[in-house]
């Protein structure tokens, strides 16, 4: 069994799992499509939200920016993360309180303004397009590399898989597939970080590895990266 076999095994197995979860959690009502049936545990919801942050736009695009721009590229990561935190703290909790499903509906009702609603729609479209462009670029790069197909074909394959589990499960199915994605991404992030820290500094904890001295040198890892 060669490299191609294992590549297809993990790709098909991973997305097969996502589709199986979508079938298991398939939507049975409009509530399942909009608000996941109101029965998702906060911890599960948090895992799904974290997976959304750690998606292709972060896992590939942000990593690529930092790799090409160096230490200074981390400002993009901080802005990306900071915006997510502000959204979670200042906007998301109030959607349910106001009984709204979309940000423009909430903003329009909160400020009693059709103009505010229109501005929110424009902002939402702009942000969504920017985000989806990054996502689709990541999907195309990943699938074309894994499956050995054209970039555009990779995008179509990825979109087809997302379409299947989104249509089957609605918000409920997407939430649980995001939880599975969270587990995969945490593993993919953590294992290399642990071994890189162990090899470079001898410390298996990456966070402590940053302030530990590089093997054979009298300088911390963070100091050498800067």
Residue 226 predicted with pLDDT over 80 = no
Query: Of 1-10, 84-93, 113-122, where does the model show the most confidence?
Result: 113-122
Range of 187's domain? Answer: 3-225
Query: Pick the residue with more confidence: 105 or 210?
Result: 105
Are 200 and 212 in contact by the 8 Å Cβ rule? The answer is no
For 46, the token pair is 């948090």
**Domain count within the chain:** 1
Q: CA-to-CA distance for 176 and 22, rounded, in angstroms?
A: 8
Residue 207 predicted with pLDDT over 80 = yes
Query: Of 2-6, 48-52, 62-66, 105-109, where does the model show the most confidence?
Result: 105-109
Put simply, whether the predicted model's pTM sits higher than 0.75 gets the answer no
List of long-range contacts for 142-150, beta carbons under 8 Å, 24+ apart = 142/56, 142/60, 143/11, 146/7, 146/11, 147/7, 147/8, 147/11
For 158, the token pair is 């990825």
- Rounded to the nearest 10 degrees, how much is the dihedral formed by the CA atoms of 63, 66, 71, 76? -100
Query: Pick the residue with more confidence: 7 or 109?
Result: 109
Overall average pLDDT of the 2-8 stretch: 75
Residue 166 predicted with pLDDT over 80 = no
Give the pLDDT score at 115: 94
Give the pLDDT score at 37: 65
Residue 88 predicted with pLDDT over 70 = yes
Give the pLDDT score at 57: 67
């Amino acid at each position: 069994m060669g490299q191609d076999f294992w590549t297809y095994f993990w790709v098909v197995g991973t997305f097969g799992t996502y589709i199986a979860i979508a079938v298991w959690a398939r939507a049975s009502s409009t509530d399942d499509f909009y608000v996941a049936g109101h029965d998702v545990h906060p911890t599960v919801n948090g895992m799904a939200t974290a997976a959304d942050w750690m998606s292709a736009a972060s896992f590939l695009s942000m990593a690529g920016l930092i790799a090409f721009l160096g230490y200074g590229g981390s400002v993009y990561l901080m802005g990306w993360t900071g915006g997510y935190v502000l959204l979670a703290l200042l906007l998301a909790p109030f959607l349910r309180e106001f009984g709204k499903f979309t940000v423009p509906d909430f903003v329009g009702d909160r400020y009693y303004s059709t103009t505010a609603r229109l501005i929110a729609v424009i902002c939402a479209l702009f942000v969504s397009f920017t985000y989806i462009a990054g996502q689709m670029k990541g999907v195309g790069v990943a699938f074309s590399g894994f499956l050995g197909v054209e970039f555009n074909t990779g995008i179509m394959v990825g979109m087809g898989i997302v379409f299947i589990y989104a249509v089957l499960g609605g918000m409920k199915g997407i939430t649980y597939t995001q939880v599975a994605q969270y587990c995969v991404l945490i593993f993919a992030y953590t294992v290399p970080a642990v071994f890189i820290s162990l090899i470079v500094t001898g410390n298996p904890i990456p966070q402590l590895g940053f302030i530990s001295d590089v093997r054979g040198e009298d300088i911390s890892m963070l100091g050498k990266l800067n």
